[in-house]
Chain A
């Protein structure tokens, strides 16, 4: 029996919805005004994320069960919207619970099962490749290599992590190799970090409530591309994995072969650097 209870932190009228990115959690908006698109996986209690959304955790990989939020669920793939004011059995969840079955079938030689995994993740892997390499041809190579290598080495995948995490690891390695080839003397993930915390306070300005609305979507995309491209790869990759791909801190550490503490430190630096770079575009003008 599938049941869903809304966490006590959820305000009345809040919406509960799949995030639409195939990630194993539900986002709960603060005031029900907008179904959440972002979040973190596997929170063990309701939490508010950096985007101001309340999150509810699901059990890992769609296993039915109860999490710290009192949320019951059962694996299925269909998206559901549930009103917090009218809790009712959750007919379906967002969890791509059949990933493990698809991987098993693909390992047994079922090409269609592997193709389904490709269809599921190709956009995300291409985006990751684009964001890391900042180059379309490199991103295409990264995506192709990631899927071909994962297919070739499927027998080595032990299922210790999600297939997607394993795939991301391969894609990130491919993308980093591209960067190393382009800048062999400048690039290292082990570079020492000599940062000045006080630089944060050199330029502090208010952005207003919705700074991104100052720009048309295309222009905004160009700005975001530019600032992320300016970020040093050691920060860029961590930011992309954590804040764009919603990979956990622990998984990011595994993928990059660095410590959890290093991930946290680099994520902080990345966020602060991006904030500083965006400042010139988003600061509130004197007329506002």
Chain B
């Protein structure tokens, strides 16, 4: 496997969905290629950092407006049925 092929398979590899034969081939390449190893490692960390990032809080006023709009819709709906 060459570096270009590693990049093509990178996402599938990081998702743990790579076919076993291809994975072994890729990991053998990683064992001897520092550049690819760094790309794999930093891409994995990129995903991890986003995965672990704090969720955007839902502001109370935004939530209140949503529920007011929904209640209004429920009320209109009950009148028509």
Contacts and interface: CB of A to CB of B under 8 A. Distances in A.
A157 interface: no
Nearest to A127: B56
Given A50-B47, A148-B73, A200 B52 contact: no
A126 B70 contact: no
B73 A38 contact: no
A243 interface: yes
A282 B45 contact: yes
A115 B72 CA distance: 12
A204 B55 contact: no
Contact of A271 (B46, B54, B58, B77): B46
B69 A122 contact: no
Interface residues of B, number: 45
B39 A200 contact: yes
A40 interface: yes
Contacts of B22: none
B53 interface: yes
B81 A50 contact: no
Contact of A224 (B15, B39, B45, B53): B53
Interface in B5-27: 7-8, 10-12, 14-17
Given A49-B15, A50-B14, A144 B69 contact: yes
Interface string A194-220: 000110110011110001100001001
A244 interface: yes
Interface in B24-67: 35, 38-39, 41-59, 62-63, 65-67
B58 A122 contact: yes
Contacts of A197: 4, 7-8
A126 to B, nearest CB: 5
B59 to A, nearest CB: 8
Given A204-B38, A205-B38, A115 B65 contact: no
B17 to A, nearest CB: 7
B70 to A, nearest CB: 6
Contacts of B10: 268, 271-272
B3 interface: yes
A122 B58 CA distance: 8
Given A40-B15, A109-B81, A278 B7 contact: no
Contacts of A48: 16
Contact of B43 (A38, A118, A126, A272): A272
Nearest to A36: B51
B17 A47 contact: yes
A193 interface: no
B56 A212 contact: no
A64 B77 CA distance: 36
25 contacts: A37-B52, A38-B52, A47-B16, A50-B51, A51-B48, A52-B44, A52-B48, A109-B77, A118-B67, A136-B62, A151-B73, A198-B4, A206-B42, A211-B45, A212-B49, A221-B54, A243-B50, A243-B51, A244-B51, A268-B7, A271-B47, A272-B10, A274-B46, A275-B43, A279-B42
Pairs A-B, 6 closest by C-beta atoms: A47-B16, A50-B14, A38-B51, A50-B47, A111-B74, A268-B11
